[in-house]
Amino acid sequence: MPTGVYRRVFITLKWAIKTPRINNISSGARCNRWEAEVWRKWRPRFGWEHLCPVRFCDPFGLILIMDRALQPVTFEEVKSANDLEYGNYYPNVSVEYKPENWGVIAGKMVCVDYGIDEAEQIIKKRLYYQQKSGMQ
Ligand SMILES: Nc1ncnc2c1ncn2[C@@H]1O[C@H](COP(=O)(O)OP(=O)(O)O)[C@@H](O)[C@H]1O
Ligand SMILES: [Mg+2]
């Protein structure tokens, strides 16, 4: 069972089920909630194509369900997929090129970890996305 910095992940044939690590429940739950918000609310506005789909997240962020991506991939594969297939998105999502945060679904390289753990960073990012999408 993979363990990330903030979350434990149960992998099935089709799904990746993320739950906060017990030693830092609030950060893990915040990552889950932000990942769900990015997927549902901001991705449709900014057209990000490189994110792994979120299918379910409860309001507290205790359980998030994503499509399962195939791992491992290499840094070179992540980098070339981003260079060749995805544009320079503006505004962008906070993603890292760490290979463990990426995987392949139906031949497409996707980021499986786009959570943010810090509440203040999330507030700033949300405000920024609101401004860029002409909301408010
Ligand atoms: N959708 C997914 N498909 C396959 N494996 C995944 C998926 N999401 C997460 N994982 C695996 O679980 C690990 C931890 O998940 P991650 O979202 O990176 O948690 P954290 O935010 O705690 O780092 C990942 O590095 C990856 O190996
Ligand atoms: Mg991670």
Q: Where are the domains of the chain?
A: 7-115
What amino acid occupies position 115?
G
Global pTM value: 0.97
- Residues 6+ positions from 6 with CB-CB distance below 8 Å: 20, 21, 24, 27, 28, 31, 115, 117
- How does DSSP assign 21-78, residue by residue? -GGGHHHHHHHHHHHHHIIIIIHHHHT--SBPPEEEE-TTSS-EEEEPPB----HHHH
User: Tens of pLDDT along 38-59?
Assistant: 999 999 999 999 999 999 999 9
At 45 the pLDDT is 96
- Residues 6+ positions from 29 with CB-CB distance below 8 Å: 20, 60, 61, 62
At 135 the pLDDT is 75
Cα of 120 vs centre of ligand 2, distance in Å, is 19
Query: Distance between CA atoms of 79 and 68, rounded to whole angstroms?
Result: 20
Ligand 1 pocket, residue 9 CB under 6 Å:
yes
Contact 39, 54 (CB under 8 A): yes
Q: Which of 113, 116, 118, 121 to mutate to test the pocket of ligand 1 (most atoms within 8 A of CB)?
A: 113
Nearest CA to ligand 1 atom 15: 4
Q: Which of 18, 27, 33, 64 to mutate to test the pocket of ligand 1 (most atoms within 8 A of CB)?
A: 18
Return the ligand 1 atom nearest residue 3 CA: 14
Query: Distance between CA atoms of 83 and 81, rounded to whole angstroms?
Result: 6
- Helix or strand or coil: residue 112? coil
Cα of 28 vs centre of ligand 1, distance in Å, is 12
At 128 the pLDDT is 97
* pLDDT means over runs of 10, the chain (136 residues): 95 98 97 98 96 98 98 97 89 93 97 98 97 84
